[in-house]
Amino acid sequence: MKPVYIASDNIISSLGFTTRENADNLRQGITGIKLHNDLHLSPAPFWASIIDHRRLEDKFSQHANPTEYTIFEQMLICSVQDALDKTDIDIHNSKTLFILSTTKGNIDILDVKSQFRKDPYRAYLWNTAHLIRSFFELYHNPIVVSNACISGVLGVIIGTRMIRSGRFENVVVAGADLVTEFVLSGFNSFLSLCEGPCKPFDKNRTGLSLGEAAGTIILTADKNVAGNNSLKVGKGSSSNDANHI
């Protein structure tokens, strides 16, 4: 089986804007899950991991005007750009593919107070993918993977298959999702949110904590591009059991 390597990566979350910053804060026991009291998102206080949007806008302003892009789009672009900056891979090349993984995308623009509500097409995932294509001047149309909780890992599996098939030499897989009123109300309706930071490995656990983040993994068939400390992608699969409607 043709080997596929991870050439570069990035994480943008409440713990940091690079993979290293996230890892360092994690090792120090720092949590990004905090109590938020934002009536724009929820009528009651809620626990969640939310990134610093002001810091994001400051970072994104190095690339473009933040007022012209949604928070979701800014997260994606900053994450992809940081991963690209750590490798010599040409994202414009015909042998490079981009995959967008997300569950809800720009779902927040459905809010009547959103400045982007006048452009309803912005909520369509295919439209977001084409916006990213225009920003990075990509050669190919991106692939959109939106399959609930497995969107990210499924994007990596598809990207790996694309490289092993010989169609592409590199694949940029980027994923992101936001904490929004729509998402919060949905999980609240299931009574599944934890009153406090979640504790999934505790026998007294009471629910989950929502979070928002963006992440990018750049896959390549060239071990020299990946570097000496590169990780090799293992096997992966997916299935559709269609167990209920």
Structural domain includes residue 242: no
**Which residue carries 């369509």 as its tokens?**
124
CATH code for the domain in which residue 178 is found: 3.40.47.10
What is the domain range of residue 227?
5-231
Residue 114: its pLDDT value, please? 82
Q: Please name which of 80, 95, 105 lies closest in space to residue 218, comparing C-alpha atoms.
A: 80
Q: pTM of this prediction?
A: 0.93
Structural domain includes residue 241: no
Domain count for the chain: 1
Structural domain includes residue 240: no
Structural domain includes residue 211: yes
How many Cβ atoms are within 10 Å of 10's Cβ, its own excluded?
A: 24
Structural domain includes residue 44: yes
What does the pLDDT look like over 95-145, one tens digit per residue?
999 999 999 999 999 887 888 888 888 899 999 999 999 999 999 999 999
Structural domain includes residue 70: yes
Structural domain includes residue 86: yes
The Cβ-side half-sphere exposure at 4, using a 13 Å CA radius, reads 24
CB 10 within 8 A of CB 83: yes
What does the pLDDT look like over 22-49, one tens digit per residue?
999 999 999 999 999 998 899 999 999 9
Structural domain includes residue 239: no
More confident residue, 231 or 97: 97
